[in-house]
C-alpha cells in the first residue's frame, strides 16, 4: 500500500491544443486525487476538458495537436507523464483501463469479441490464446453476460448497445486493472440499461477493489455511485471534495448552479442550461476566473486573477475568490 | 456466406448473357452490311458473298448468336487471318496476360498498401509528402515512358534483365513492375485516405487504451477495416490489367490479349475481336464477383444477409 492510500494524484495539469484557429487552452490547472477503491465523479459541461484529462492520464492524447505543458500524473507514486511509450504499454489495459461513451463504435466491427479480448489478455499476461480465451470467458461472466462462450464468437454488430458496453467493461477489466476511467459510459444507453451498468461498476469496485474515475455530465449519476466529486469548468477543477461535502455544502457558485438543477438520470446538464450564459471559448478564455462572466457572486478581483484551488475546510477544495458560506462553515 | 456466394453467382448469369449478346451484336451494330465490313473496303462482290455464306449472315439473328457461341467452344468460329479456331488464338494470349496481371497486381498491392499505411501513420510529415509525391508521379507518368526507362536501366546499362519478349520469370519483371507501379500509386492514395479515416475511429482508441502496441493496432485492427475500400480499387485495377495492357505489352513485346485485340481490329479480324471482348467482359464480371466475396471475408456486417 502506498503511504497516503492514494492511487492517483493529478497535479496542476496544463494541456493546450495547437489548432489552425489558435491555441485551445483546454486544461489550465487540473488537480485532484483518488484513493484506492474510491469512485470519483468528474463532472462538467461539454467542452470543460473531462475527456482531455482522461486521455492525458493514460497518455492517449493525440500529440500533436495536444501539448502537455505542465503537471504530474502520479499513479502509485510514479509520474506517468515521464514514462516512455513502451512503459505505458504495461500500464494501459493492465493497470489503468478505459471505457467510453459510445458502445456502438468502441468495439472493432470486423473482429469477434473473442479475437479482441484474447489479443489483449494474451499480450499482457503472456499466455496462450487458449488460456486467454478461458480468462475472457471469466471476464464476460463477471460482467453478467449470459452465455459468454456464445458471445465470444459474435461480432459487435450482433450485440445490443447494453451488451456491447458490458463487453467493453469485460475487456477493460480482463487484466484486473487497478483503475478504471469511464468516460460517460452510460450516456448512449437507455435508462434501465444505464442503471444496470452503474450497478455493475459498483459491484466491480466491491469485488475487485477497483478505483474508478467516472466522467459524466450528470449529477444524478454522481449521487448514485460516487464517493467524491471533482467539478470541472472550462479547463479547471473548481471544486473537489467528498460527495457529502459537495452536495450538502457546495462552495463554488458553479457547483451550486449545477446542483440546483439535478436533472433526471436520462437528461444531460447542457440541455437544461440552468446557469445563464454559455461555456467560454477556450482559445480566448475570460481573464481571471474563467467562470466570472456567468457568476452571480463576482468580485473585482475575479476578472484579474485566476483563483487557486485551495483546501478551504478539511478535504474540501475550491477555486473561488468569493466562495459560498463566507469561506467558513 | 454460402448464401451470398449462390446469390452472387445467380446474378452473374444474366450479366454474362447480356455481355455475350452485346459482343455478338458488335458486328451488326456497325452501320452497313456486315459481310462487306468483314471483307473490307474494295472487296470483290463475289468475296463478299462467300463471306456472307460462311458466316451465315442471312440467317435470323438468334441463329447467328447461337452459332457464334457454339462456334466459340467447338472451334468452328475461326480467325479470318489465320484460319485457326478463335479460342485457340485467344486462350494462350489470355494466359500470358493473366500472368502479367497477377504479377503486377501483386507488386501494386504490396507497394501501394505499404506506402499508403506509412503515409497515413506519418500524415502531414515529410514522409507523407514524399510518399504522396511519388504517388502523384506514378499516376501522371506515361506508362510507356516508365517502361522504356526501366528497360534502359535494367537491360541496357545494367544488363540484368531481358528487355522484352516472353520466356522465364525474368521476362515478366520489367513489364510487371511498369504496370504495377502506375496502379500502386492509385492503391497507395486509396489506402492512405481509408487508413486516415479508420485511425480516427473510436475502436482504434479502444485498442490503444488496452495497451496493445501501436504497430499491432495499425497492422491488425486498423488495416482490416481500412482494406475494405482498397479491395474495390485493387479489384478494378486487376480487371483493367486482365483486359490487356496494350502499351506495356507493346513496349516489352509481351504477347498478351491487349495486343492481339488491337492487331485484330487493324486486320478486321472480327471473330477474334468479338471473342476477345467477350472474354474481357467475362473476366471483369468474375473479378467483381471475387471482390464482392473478399468484401464479405473482410466485413462480417456484409456476411450477415
Ligand atoms: N484533438 C483536439 N484538437 C483540438 N482541440 C481539442 C481536441 N480535443 C479536445 N479539444 C478541445 O479541448 C476542450 C475540452 O474537450 P473535452 O473533449 O475534454 O471536453 P469534455 O469535457 O470531455 O466534453 P464532453 O462532455 O462533450 O465529452 C474542448 O474545447 C475541445 O474543443
Ligand atoms: Mg468527453
pLDDT tens for each residue of B87-143 = 888 889 899 899 899 999 999 999 999 999 999 998 888 999 998 898 888 888 888
Q: Which residues of chain B does A168 touch, with a Cβ-Cβ cutoff of 8 Å?
A: 206
What is the percent of chain B with per-residue pLDDT over 90, rounded to a whole number?
25
Q: Which residues of chain B does A213 touch, with a Cβ-Cβ cutoff of 8 Å?
A: none
pLDDT of res. A40 = 94
Q: Given an 8 Å threshold on Cβ–Cβ distance, is B209 in contact with A60?
A: yes
Q: Given an 8 Å threshold on Cβ–Cβ distance, is A108 in contact with B225?
A: yes
Complex ipTM value: 0.85
- The DSSP secondary structure of A33-73, one letter per residue, reads EEETT-EEEEE--TTSSHHHHHHHHTT-S-TTTEEEEEEEE
Instruction: Quote the minimal CA–CA distance from B63 to chain A in Å.
Output: 51
Query: Same domain, yes or no, for B272 and B185?
Result: yes
Query: Across chain A, how many H-helices and E-strands are there?
Result: 12, 12
Query: Same domain, yes or no, for B57 and B165?
Result: no
Burial label for A321, CB within 10 Å (0-12, 13-18, 19+), is: buried
**Ligand 1 lined by A135 (C-beta under 6 Å):** no
Say how far apart CA A95 and CA A211 lie, in whole Å: 11
Residue ending a domain, among B71, B86, B101, is B86
Nearest to A319 by CA among A231, A258, A249, A260: A231
pLDDT exceeds cutoff 60 at A4 = no
Burial letters for A92-127: b for 16+ Cβ neighbours within 10 Å, e otherwise?
bbbbbbbbbbbbbbbbbbbbbbbbbbbbbbbbbeee
Is the sign of the CA dihedral A75, A80, A83, A84 positive or negative? positive
Query: Same domain, yes or no, for B9 and B118?
Result: no
**Ligand 1 lined by A218 (C-beta under 6 Å):** no
The predicted model scores a pTM of 0.83
pLDDT tens for each residue of B150-205 = 888 888 888 788 877 787 788 888 888 889 988 999 999 999 999 999 998 999 99
CA of A49 relative to ligand 1 center, distance in Å: 6
End-to-end CA distance of chain A: 34
Query: Same domain, yes or no, for B126 and B57?
Result: no
Question: What's the rounded mean pLDDT across residues A109-137?
Answer: 92
Rounded to an integer, what is the distance from CA A213 to the centroid of its chain?
4
Ligand nearest to the CA of A43: 1
Element spanning A229, H or E: strand A228-233
pLDDT tens for each residue of A70-109 = 899 999 888 999 989 889 998 998 899 998 888 788 999 9
Q: Which residues of chain A does B224 touch, with a Cβ-Cβ cutoff of 8 Å?
A: 110-111
Query: Same domain, yes or no, for B14 and B29?
Result: yes
Query: Same domain, yes or no, for B72 and B106?
Result: no
What is the percent of chain A with per-residue pLDDT over 70, rounded to a whole number?
93
pLDDT of res. B115 = 94
Instruction: Give the number of domains in chain B.
Output: 2
Q: Given an 8 Å threshold on Cβ–Cβ distance, is A155 in contact with B221?
A: no
B 204-223 residues with CB < 8 A to A: 205-214, 216, 220-221
Range of the domain at B176: 89-304
CA of A10 relative to ligand 1 center, distance in Å: 18
Query: Same domain, yes or no, for B61 and B97?
Result: no
Number of Cα atoms under 13 Å in the Cβ half of residue A207: 12
Query: Same domain, yes or no, for B110 and B31?
Result: no
Residue ending a domain, among B86, B114, B141, is B86
Provide the CATH number for the domain around residue B189.
Answer: 1.10.3720.10
pLDDT of res. B86 = 81
Query: Same domain, yes or no, for B162 and B24?
Result: no
Query: Same domain, yes or no, for B118 and B75?
Result: no
Say how far apart CA A9 and CA B293 lie, in whole Å: 52
Query: Same domain, yes or no, for B164 and B241?
Result: yes
Confidence at A161, pLDDT banded by 50, 70, 90? confident
Residue ending a domain, among B53, B86, B119, is B86
pLDDT of res. A326 = 53
pLDDT tens for each residue of B248-272 = 888 888 888 888 888 888 888 888 8
Q: Given an 8 Å threshold on Cβ–Cβ distance, is B210 in contact with A172?
A: yes
Grid coordinates of A23? 491555441
**Ligand 1 lined by A49 (C-beta under 6 Å):** yes
Task: Tell me if residue B154 falls in helix, strand or coil.
Answer: helix
Query: Same domain, yes or no, for B110 and B258?
Result: yes
Q: At what angle do helices B170-199 and B126-140 cross, to 10 degrees?
A: 130
Q: Given an 8 Å threshold on Cβ–Cβ distance, is A89 in contact with B203?
A: no
Amino acid at each position: 500500500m502506498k503511504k497516503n492510500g492514494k492511487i492517483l494524484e493529478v497535479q496542476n495539469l496544463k494541456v493546450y491544443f495547437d489548432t489552425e484557429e489558435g491555441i485551445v487552452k483546454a486544461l489550465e490547472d487540473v488537480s485532484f486525487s483518488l484513493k484506492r477503491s474510491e469512485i470519483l465523479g468528474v463532472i462538467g459541461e461539454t467542452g470543460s476538458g473531462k475527456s482531455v484529462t482522461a486521455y492525458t492520464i493514460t497518455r492517449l492524447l493525440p500529440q500533436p495537436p495536444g501539448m502537455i505543458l505542465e503537471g504530474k500524473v502520479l499513479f502509485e507514486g510514479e509520474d506517468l507523464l515521464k514514462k516512455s511509450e513502451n512503459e505505458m504499454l504495461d500500464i494501459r489495459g493492465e493497470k489503468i483501463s478505459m471505457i467510453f461513451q459510445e458502445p456502438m463504435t468502441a468495439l472493432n466491427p470486423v473482429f469477434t469479441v473473442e479475437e479482441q479480448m484474447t489479443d489483449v489478455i494474451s499480450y499482457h499476461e503472456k499466455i496462450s490464446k487458449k488460456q486467454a480465451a478461458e480468462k475472457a470467458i471469466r471476464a464476460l461472466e463477471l460482467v453478467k453476460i449470459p452465455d459468454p462462450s456464445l458471445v465470444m464468437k459474435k461480432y459487435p454488430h450482433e450485440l445490443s448497445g447494453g451488451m456491447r458496453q458490458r463487453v467493453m467493461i469485460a475487456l477493460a477489466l480482463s487484466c484486473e486493472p487497478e483503475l478504471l476511467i469511464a468516460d460517460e459510459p452510460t450516456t448512449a444507453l437507455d435508462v434501465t440499461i444505464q442503471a444496470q451498468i452503474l450497478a455493475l461498476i459498483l459491484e466491480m469496485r466491491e469485488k475487485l477493489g477497483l478505483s474508478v474515475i467516472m466522467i459524466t455530465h450528470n449529477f444524478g449519476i454522481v449521487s448514485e455511485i460516487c464517493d467524491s466529486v471533482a467539478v470541472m469548468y472550462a479547463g479547471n477543477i473548481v471544486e473537489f471534495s467528498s460527495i457529502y461535502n459537495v452536495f450538502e455544502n457546495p462552495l463554488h457558485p458553479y457547483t451550486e448552479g449545477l446542483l440546483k438543477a439535478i436533472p433526471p438520470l436520462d437528461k444531460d446538464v447542457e440541455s437544461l442550461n440552468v446557469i445563464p450564459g454559455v461555456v467560454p471559448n477556450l482559445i480566448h478564455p475570460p481573464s481571471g476566473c474563467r467562470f466570472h462572466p456567468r457568476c452571480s457572486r463576482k468580485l473585482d478581483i475575479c476578472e484579474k486573477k485566476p483563483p487557486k484551488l485551495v483546501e478551504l475546510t478539511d478535504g474540501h477544495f475550491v477555486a473561488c475568490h468569493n466562495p459560498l458560506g463566507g469561506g467558513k462553515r | 456466406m454460402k448464401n451470398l456466394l449462390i446469390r452472387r453467382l445467380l446474378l452473374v448469369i444474366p450479366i454474362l448473357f447480356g455481355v455475350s449478346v452485346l459482343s455478338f451484336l458488335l458486328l451488326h451494330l456497325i452501320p452497313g452490311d456486315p459481310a462487306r465490313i468483314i471483307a473490307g473496303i474494295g472487296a470483290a462482290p463475289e468475296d463478299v458473298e462467300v463471306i456472307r455464306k460462311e458466316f451465315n449472315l442471312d440467317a435470323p439473328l438468334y441463329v447467328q448468336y447461337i452459332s457464334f457461341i457454339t462456334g466459340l467452344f467447338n472451334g468452328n468460329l475461326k480467325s479470318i487471318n489465320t484460319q485457326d479456331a478463335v479460342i485457340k488464338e485467344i486462350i494462350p494470349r489470355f494466359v500470358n496476360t493473366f500472368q502479367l496481371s497477377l504479377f503486377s497486381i501483386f507488386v501494386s498491392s504490396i507497394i501501394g498498401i505499404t506506402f499508403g499505411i506509412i503515409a497515413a501513420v506519418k500524415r502531414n510529415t515529410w514522409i507523407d509528402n514524399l510518399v504522396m509525391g511519388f504517388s502523384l508521379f506514378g499516376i501522371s507518368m506515361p506508362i510507356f515512358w516508365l517502361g522504356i526507362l526501366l528497360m534502359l536501366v535494367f537491360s541496357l546499362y545494367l544488363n540484368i534483365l531481358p528487355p522484352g519478349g516472353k520466356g522465364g520469370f525474368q521476362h515478366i519483371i520489367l513489364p510487371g513492375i511498369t504496370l504495377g507501379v502506375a496502379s500502386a500509386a492509385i492503391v497507395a492514395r486509396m489506402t492512405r485516405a481509408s487508413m486516415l479515416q479508420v485511425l480516427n475511429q473510436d475502436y482504434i482508441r479502444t485498442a490503444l487504451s488496452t495497451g496493445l502496441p501501436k504497430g499491432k493496432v495499425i497492422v491488425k485492427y486498423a488495416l482490416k477495416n481500412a482494406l475494405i475500400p482498397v479491395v474495390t480499387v485493387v479489384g478494378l485495377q486487376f480487371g483493367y490489367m486482365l483486359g490487356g495492357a496494350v502499351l506495356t505489352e507493346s513496349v516489352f513485346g509481351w504477347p498478351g490479349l491487349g495486343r492481339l485485340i488491337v492487331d485484330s481490329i487493324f486486320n478486321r479480324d472480327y471473330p477474334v475481336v468479338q471473342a476477345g471482348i467477350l472474354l474481357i467482359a467475362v473476366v471483369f464480371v468474375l473479378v467483381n464477383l471475387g471482390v464482392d466475396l473478399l468484401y464479405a471475408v473482410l466485413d462480417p456486417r456484409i456476411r450477415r444477409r
